[in-house]
Amino acid sequence: MKITCAKDQLNHAVQTVQKAVTAKAALPILSGIYISAQNNKLELQATDYEIGISCAIDAQIDIPGQIVLSCRYFQELVKKLPGETVEIASSAEDRTIKITAGTSQFNLLSLPAGEFPVLKPLFDKSAQENSLVIKDNLLRDLIKRTVFACATEESRPIFTGALLESTESDVRMVATNTHRLALKKSILETTNTNYNPLKIVIPSKVLNELARLLSSELPVDVNICWEKNRVAFRFENVYLESRIIEGQYPDYNRVIPPQFGTVAAINTALFMDAVERVSLMAKDGEYNVIKFQFNHDQVIITSNNPDVGKAYETVPVTTTGTEITIAFNAKYVTDILKNIGTPELHFSLNTPLSPASIKPVNDENYTYIITPVRTS
Amino acid sequence: MKITCAKDQLNHAVQTVQKAVTAKAALPILSGIYISAQNNKLELQATDYEIGISCAIDAQIDIPGQIVLSCRYFQELVKKLPGETVEIASSAEDRTIKITAGTSQFNLLSLPAGEFPVLKPLFDKSAQENSLVIKDNLLRDLIKRTVFACATEESRPIFTGALLESTESDVRMVATNTHRLALKKSILETTNTNYNPLKIVIPSKVLNELARLLSSELPVDVNICWEKNRVAFRFENVYLESRIIEGQYPDYNRVIPPQFGTVAAINTALFMDAVERVSLMAKDGEYNVIKFQFNHDQVIITSNNPDVGKAYETVPVTTTGTEITIAFNAKYVTDILKNIGTPELHFSLNTPLSPASIKPVNDENYTYIITPVRTS
């Protein structure tokens, strides 16, 4: 192999795919980045079998070929190389790869390219009945507003991922750890009738990496394609695939109360600041619990940690319906306040022991359900 | 106690003194911030016996008194309080302290103020023959350009601190881990003859905290005062004292070669980038060693890590004297390049096994000595 390419593009490609390299790779070959040169393209790949990413850039290919370089050293080096172009050439004598830029010359040991589990892109299959197109900013928004609600402990794997679901008119993402649930819908511009409905659960770790890569300045199309065990996303010069978490995702619609006896309209920023201060006195307490007393014109927020002290805050609200006192895990409240994205919210409740809802005002496409905590 | 003060000033004072609270305090009382109110001043203090810091701010004192609050909770709370003023009042009934700001009310448990080891400032003593005045920007510069050279392992405590020394005409700071040494002098504006010469070793941890606090926009005076076991610094509204590390500091002048057979003039930025890249291939190698071959018009920098690869870089230089090949610990070279502060430097050498010097061009007040590594 012998190629020349732009340093900035190579650096971008390395930074893109290196998110699929785990620090503690099970097999040595998975600690590497696979680099393939042919047809004026340099394609970089990395995978840990859960997530696989490839990124292709333009390059002058003098001799085509495939190599694998240690991700750790290659990415540090490419970041620091001088000048604007980089030359990469494999040596005929030994298994080193010569990397030249300006007056810098490096010979990196390579890993055996034949051992690398090269990605087999789903899009190359002729049958694409399982596919969907969505704008990258909409997909990023679906992820960012829900994925924080996933479970972090592995005891029930299905909840460590988020459900991605499509109907004829919208795409939805749902995440829950069984104590709280986030649901975000994105209405499709045109009704899609020519594909199969999508219903898969994707690991939260993969979704976080995907959201980070969906950062184009102008909206671009993301092609989504799936089969039984894996799902793939293609956008710009990036291909990302993920395993699908097996199992039955519960019917989230049953968790969402059809109506509420109390609805409080609250300023998001004031509420957020007050809840964060009150939670300071709850952090070490059992379950991080804080209490909310919804009166007609204010909500009184309190906490009491015998080892630290007490907090008492009031925030103006406009409450319709019954006054109610209820307790929540403070973190489950602040998590949604950080992601709600509107200056006003509706906090809707029924009884001190039934699920409540926090929603942006005037946005039916974002729902957050939170289970209260029983207090003495 | 009952006081009212400006929130921003209180926050600044808390952030200043909290650097003296260690995460794992040996005594529970040392996890607290001592707050004393009298004569229209609120003084905050913290200490871990190695470093003690106090900071005084203006306040309206309605009832004088002393309290101690948990640093962890108090500092988080003060940072997040709403509005512009804060009221702090001790309760007559229990040992809680009421903190009020806007509609926020907090009752923090207090620690027993009588147990706090209140600082006894050195400056309150009538005899001040052991004192010195220096501008804060000069002191900060002395620290920043030397303290990185201190030893980090505790096997020889004297080298975990830096020597602060004064003569009639200058103040110096010296730091070494026995493999490299940094010396920075600051010429005093006026000759000082009315005080005892200073020669003390201060823990590097304390010096780093001190440098962080010496951040005024316009230069201010720092009063330094010392006795047998401790040294104190007073500037603006801050008092900081430190224990002095006991023991004899070696004669650093004997380490500095009087002349050199080879002197290379090098561009700092080009040299720095090349050394950093070459050291990528040395990091896991034994001692992180890289080789420098000083020729008349270029220095060739190389490394060879059998597990990773090889690096080869050239940087233009103007060398006078004998050509020489020598090896150094890469970190000891990059450390000084980050701190040298001038676009050109002089790398001066004698033989492959004798100490070399790296200095800014045209600055006799900053010297860095580095011991080479023997290679096969």
Residues A29-55: tens digit of each pLDDT = 999 999 999 999 999 999 999 999 999
How much is the pLDDT for B346?
98
Residue A318 has pLDDT above 60, yes or no: yes
Give the confidence band of A355 by pLDDT, cuts at 50, 70, 90.
very high
pLDDT at residue B93 in the model: 79
When pLDDT is averaged across residues A137-146 and rounded to a whole number, the result is 96
- Contact indicator for B283, B197 with CB cutoff of 8 Å: no
Cβ pair A103:B313 closer than 8 A: yes
Of B82, B108, B280, the CB nearest to A77: B280
Instruction: Report how far residue A2's alpha carbon sits from residue A60's, in angstroms, rounded to the nearest whole number.
Output: 9
Q: Is B75 on the interface with A (CB under 8 A)?
A: no
Fold of A2-115: DNA Polymerase III; Chain A, domain 2 (3.10.150)
**pLDDT, position B125:** 59
pLDDT of residue B270 exceeding 90: yes
- The pLDDT, as a whole number, for residue B128 is 65
- pLDDT tens for B46-66 read 999 999 999 999 999 999 999
Q: How many CB atoms are located within 10 Å of the residue B353 CB?
A: 10
The average pLDDT across A353-366 equals 95
Judging contacts by C-beta atoms under 8 Å, the chain A residues touching residue B273 are 80, 82
Question: Looking at the partner chain, which of B80, B281, B310 has a beta carbon nearest the beta carbon of A277?
Answer: B80
Residue type, B21: V
Q: Alpha helix locations (H) across B81-173?
A: 136-144
CB < 8 Å to B107, chain A: 309-311
Contact list in B for residue A77 (CB cut-off 8 A) is: 277, 280
Question: Among residues of chain B, what percentage have pLDDT more than 90?
Answer: 83
Indicate if the pLDDT at residue B287 is higher than 70. Answer: no
∠ Cα B245 B250 B256 (to 5°): 130
Please check whether the two domains, A2-115 and A128-252, share a CATH topology: yes
A281 in B contact zone (CB under 8 Å): yes
Tens digits of per-residue pLDDT, B25-50?
789 999 999 999 999 999 999 999 99
Percent of chain A with pLDDT over 90: 83
pLDDT in the model for residue B324: 97
Residue from B98, B77, B89 nearest B37 by CA: B89
Q: Both tokens of residue B280?
A: 């990528």
Digit-coded pLDDT (tens) for B184-213: 999 887 666 666 788 999 999 999 999 999
Average pLDDT over residues A216-238: 92
- How large a percentage of chain A has pLDDT more than 70? 95
Q: Of all helices (H) and strands (E), which one includes residue B226?
A: strand B221-226
Reported as a single tens digit per residue, the pLDDT across B216-251 is 888 999 999 999 899 999 999 999 999 999 999 999
Residue whose structure tokens are 């006991």: B246
**Residue A277 near chain B (CB below 8 Å):** yes
**Candidates A99, A103, A267, A273, partner chain B, best to mutate (most B CBs within 10 A):** A103
Reported as a pLDDT band with limits 50, 70 and 90, residue A23 is confident
Q: What is the pLDDT of residues B99-140, one digit of tens each?
A: 999 999 999 999 999 999 999 988 765 456 788 889 999 999
Flag whether residue A126 sits within 8 Å of chain B, measured between CB atoms.
no
Lowest mean pLDDT among A13-17, A189-193, B102-106, B306-310: A189-193
Which residues numbered 229-268 in A keep a CB inside 8 Å of some CB on B?
A: none
Q: Taking residues B299-307, report their average pLDDT.
A: 94
- pLDDT score recorded for residue B278: 96
> Residue A312 and residue B273: Cβ atoms within 8 Å?
no
Q: What is the reported pLDDT for A93?
A: 79
What is the ipTM metric for this complex? 0.89
- Rounded CA gap, B348 and B367, in Å? 11
Per CATH, domain A128-252 is 3.30.70.330: no
Among the ranges given (B109-118, B159-168, B284-293), the one the predictor scored with the smallest mean pLDDT: B284-293
- State mean pLDDT over A359-372: 95
pLDDT at A215 over 90: no
State yes or no: pLDDT of A285 exceeds 60: no
Q: Please report the pLDDT score of residue B24 as a whole number.
A: 82
| Alpha-carbon span A287 to A190, nearest angstrom | 45
Over residues A144-160, the mean pLDDT reads: 94
State the fold for domain A257-370. DNA Polymerase III; Chain A, domain 2 (3.10.150)
Find the closest chain B residue to A81 by CA distance: B277
- Domain locations along chain B: 2-115, 128-252, 256-370
Query: Binning pLDDT at 50, 70 and 90, where does residue B168 land?
Result: confident
Averaged pLDDT of chain A = 93
The pLDDT value given to residue B188:
80
- Whole-angstrom CA distances from A282 to A303, A362, B82, B87, B282 are 6, 32, 19, 22, 48
pLDDT score of A16: 97
Please state, in angstroms and rounded to a whole number, the distance separating the CA atoms of residues B17 and B94. 26
Contact B34, B105 (CB under 8 A): no
- Answer yes or no: do B308 and A70 touch at CB < 8 A: yes
Pick from B100, B101, B98, B99: nearest CA to B83? B101
Task: State yes or no: pLDDT of A348 exceeds 80.
Answer: yes
Question: Residue type for B203, please?
Answer: P
**Percent of chain B residues topping a pLDDT of 70:** 95
Question: Is domain B256-370 annotated with CATH 3.10.150.10?
Answer: yes
pLDDT-based confidence at B288, cuts 50/70/90?
Answer: confident
Give the Cα separation of A230 and A245 in Å (integer). 9
The shortest CB-CB distance from B82 to any of A107, A108, A273 is to: A273
